[in-house]
Amino acid sequence: MKINCLSCGHSVDIGDAYDDYEGQVKCFTCGAILEIRTEEGNVRAVKLAQAVMSPPAKKAH
Ligand SMILES: [Zn+2]
């Protein structure tokens, strides 16, 4: 099944394993984290959990 990425607009093919799923998936195109809920192969909810990651900033402790 496919979902539309809220960040880049591409449709992300997440496969049939996600036909009944609630949790996070990563957009392969832009790297944004999407929080999705699917039921019986239908998308019930999609929201952006985390926008595109910026370059890793290392913090010195
Ligand atoms: Zn995307």
Residue 13 has pLDDT above 90, yes or no: yes
pTM over 0.95: no
Q: Tell me the pLDDT tens digit for each residue of 49-60.
A: 988 766 666 777
42 part of a folded domain: yes
The yes-or-no verdict on residue 14 having pLDDT over 90 is yes
Q: What residue numbers bound the domain in which 36 lies?
A: 2-50
The total domain count for the chain is 1
Whether residue 16 contacts residue 2, with contact meaning beta carbons closer than 8 Å, is answered with no
Domain assignment present for 57? no
Q: Among the residues of the chain, which ranges form H helices? A: none
Q: What is the mean pLDDT of the chain?
A: 90
Instruction: Examine residue 41 and state whether it is found in any structural domain, yes or no.
Output: yes
Residue 21 included in any domain: yes
Sheet with 42-50, strands from edge to edge, namely 21-26, 33-39, 42-50
Dist. CA 60 → ligand 1 center (Å): 30
* CA 45 to ligand 1 centroid distance, Å: 16
What is the CA(29)–ligand 1 centre distance, in A? 5
